[in-house]
Structure 1
Amino acid sequence: MKSRDSLIRLKRFQVDDKRRQVTQIETMIADFERMADELDRQIVEEEQRVGVTDIAHFAYPTFAKAAMQRRDNLKGSVDGLKEQLASAQSQLAEAFEELKKVEMLEERNVERERQSENQRSQAEMDSIGLAMHLRAG
């Protein structure tokens, strides 16, 4: 019984850990996307301030070029994190399935034990009833 309880606790811990990983990756993706959007806004503002939107133009702002590079790096990181997220979600689903299997096995074992106890109890009551019937008769 203790080993089953320990196994269930372990599986629940694994599910919780995978859930935390998924949440952490989702948070990082949201943060990086927010930062990339902010850089996009800054690029547009800088282009409007200088009046040059052609990247190839000699007067294109250096700040805007650097911001573009940072934005592109963030978007690349987001793409990599999305791959990690898909993997983490898959691992979470697997861990959840394993937990459900262990919980279902535990429920079956508990039900079997309950039925066995009921049968023992009924057999005991039957023998008591038979003994009383024999004494009375």
Structure 2
Amino acid sequence: MRYQKLPSDLYTRNREAFMKQMKPGGLALFFSNDIYPTSADGTLPFKQHADIFYLSGVDQEETVLLLFPDAHNPADREILFTLETNEELAIWEGAKLTKPQATAETGIANVQWTTAFERTLHRLMAEAQSLYLNDNQHTRARLTV
């Protein structure tokens, strides 16, 4: 473990404080940092984007946090998308968060795999009036919107 885990209610309070600052009908997206290559077979150590870490406590790549306080369905107000884990991935890349672990660490009840992100975003953008994007400014970042 890199550091001591903090209680999930801290991240819940952080998200609530952020959402109070949003315009009505606003939807916010926070993307985790990528794993950056140094060569054909090497990577830099992973360091999570500070904003998504502050709001969720998740220290894992390929993670997206969606905040939509005015969503019609209360389950859609906070959604965490994480990389789907399996035994092979755990062997090669290390253990990743399962859905129950992600809920326990973040306090977010609606945790989905990243494969559901585009479909969910498309559905929720029909309700949204504005979009808050937190993009990654690194030159090697994948910026697909």
TM norm structure 1: 0.20
Larger Rg, first or second structure (1 or 2): 1
Task: Report which of the two has the higher share of helix.
Answer: 1
TM norm structure 2: 0.19
Task: Report which of the two has the higher share of strand.
Answer: 2
**Higher RCO (C-alpha 8 Å, min separation 6):** 1
